[in-house]
Amino acid sequence: MDRKIGSRPSIRDVARSAGVSPGCVSNVINGRRKQDDPIGRAVHEAIEKLGYRRNTIASNLRRSQSRFIGLVIPDFENPFFAELVAQLEQQAEGTQYRIVATSSREDPEIELRELDELAGWPVAGILLVPSMDSRCKPVIQTSDKPVVVIDRIIPDSDLDVIAVDNFEASAEGMRRLLELGHRRILIAYLDDGIVNVDERLAGVRAAAAQHSDELEVNFLATGPDVEGARQRIGDLLDENPGTTAIFCLFNSATLAAYGAAQARNLRLGQGLALLSFDDSTWMSQVQPAVAAIIQPVAEIARQAWERILTRIDAETEPAGIVRVRCELSQRETLIAANGVQESASRTTEEQV
């Protein structure tokens, strides 16, 4: 979309004109990359053409405070969040910023305390993955530090958010199971009222609605504990012996489902399909390997890092939500309802 006549050009306007990312523009402006290579020259040409002027006073005030960026995540043990921390640390390499990471342990009170602690530190900005029952919206909306939210959207807030397209990825996963002939499906999810989980459930339901007359879909909220989830999934499988597929909407439920199926001698990849939303290392290493919808953590981290840097540089463009596409890795547990594996000629990984 063209910039409005008379409006002040932004870093994103410069990035579009130069054909690079906003983060590249920020790095050139702040001397964090070469000025005389093709990217540096393209950025400077775009700056001159557009008449871009950075808000130097605000930027210097923020950057003089600290070379640290705070990060609050729900759980260091969750593979997704652990990889996110690692990827953000990689993004920080080569810049003057370092990450200070802490965990809310999915406790909204601890989350508020950690955010308060970070506010007391001279951090330049804050990256936040909200807890499941987050109550931090009033705090971060009034923060004098730039905040970028990752993964879980905070409803009715005007914050920058980097998240995956949960709805479409889950809808595509469900459509794939339906294409394979599955009509008795167990959907295991964390709990109700969690925004990204609710988006995944909505995607599943939208895909299922096209086959509503012939489907038997059981929705099971398992909770976060693996052992408890394994028991609940096992009980439901016992009550519904005709189930041909399990679609888990978070990775610890996948581990629980795998264990529950093994305990009952159900043959994953032969008599029972298993699809996971989100991947973990173990899923590709076991036999049969577990099919998964893979969240592109490196891309999420890159976009979150670019966004926080542009906010630290006093970028005034309105906040918005960025949706990143996922990939479906089919592997060996994505089988047809008759027990036949997907054709090997089909693409192993597809964007969803």
What pLDDT, in 10s, does the model give residues 42-93?
A: 888 888 888 776 654 455 444 545 689 999 999 998 889 999 999 999 999 8
The model's confidence at residue 307, banded by pLDDT at 50, 70 and 90, is very high
- Residue 40 predicted with pLDDT over 90: no
Q: 72-88 burial, b if ≥16 CB within 10 A, otherwise e? A: bbbbeebbbbebbbebb
Question: Which among 281, 231, 268, 271 has a CA at the least distance from the CA of 253?
Answer: 231
Here the tokens at position 175 are: 């459509």
- DSSP, res 78: S
Asked if residues 244 and 184 have their Cβ atoms less than 8 Å apart, the reply is yes
CA distance 118 to 121: 5
Domain 166-296+328-351 belongs to what architecture? 3-Layer(aba) Sandwich (3.40)
**The domain defined by 59-164+297-324 carries CATH number 3.40.50.2300:** yes
The proportion of the chain whose per-residue pLDDT surpasses 90, expressed as a percent, equals 61
**161 forms bridges with which residues in the sheet?**
149, 321
Query: Within 13 Å and on the Cβ side, how many CA atoms surround 3?
Result: 17
* Per-residue pLDDT at 57: 41
CA distance 142 to 162: 20
For the residues 303-322, what does the mean pLDDT come to?
87
- Residue 217 predicted with pLDDT over 70: yes
* Per-residue pLDDT at 339: 74
Lowest mean pLDDT among 38-52, 242-256, 267-281: 38-52
Cα distances (Å, whole numbers) of residue 80 to 56, 75, 76, 286, 296: 37, 9, 9, 19, 10
Question: What is the longest distance spanned by two Cα atoms in the chain?
Answer: 69
CA distance 53 to 200: 42
Of residues 132 and 275, which shows the higher confidence score? 275
- Residue 300 predicted with pLDDT over 60: yes
pLDDT tens sequence across 152-195:
998 888 889 999 999 999 999 999 999 999 999 999 999 998 89
For the residues 246-261, what does the mean pLDDT come to?
96
- Report the phi/psi class of residue 44: left, alpha or beta, with left for phi > 0 and alpha for psi in -120 to 50: alpha
Burial class (CB in 10 A: 0-12, 13-18, 19+), 3: middle
Asked if residues 349 and 284 have their Cβ atoms less than 8 Å apart, the reply is no
- Residue 347 predicted with pLDDT over 50: no
* Per-residue pLDDT at 142: 80
Q: What residue spans define the domains of the chain?
A: 11-54, 59-164+297-324, 166-296+328-351
* Per-residue pLDDT at 344: 37
pTM for the whole thing? 0.78
CA distance 100 to 128: 12
Q: Alpha-carbon dihedral of residues 208, 210, 215, 216, nearest 10 degrees?
A: 30
Task: Write the single-letter amino acid at 231.
Answer: Q
Asked if residues 237 and 207 have their Cβ atoms less than 8 Å apart, the reply is no
Token pair 């909407």 in the structure block, residue: 249
The proportion of the chain whose per-residue pLDDT surpasses 70, expressed as a percent, equals 88
Domains 59-164+297-324 and 166-296+328-351 in one fold: yes
* Per-residue pLDDT at 28: 78
- Residue 342 predicted with pLDDT over 60: no
Q: Over the chain, what is the mean pLDDT?
A: 87
The model's confidence at residue 37, banded by pLDDT at 50, 70 and 90, is confident
The model's confidence at residue 105, banded by pLDDT at 50, 70 and 90, is very high
Pairing of strands 245-248, 184-189: parallel
pLDDT tens sequence across 122-153:
889 999 999 988 889 888 888 888 999 999 99
* Per-residue pLDDT at 338: 84
- Residue 282 predicted with pLDDT over 80: yes
Cα distances (Å, whole numbers) of residue 228 to 222, 231, 233, 257, 315: 7, 5, 9, 11, 46
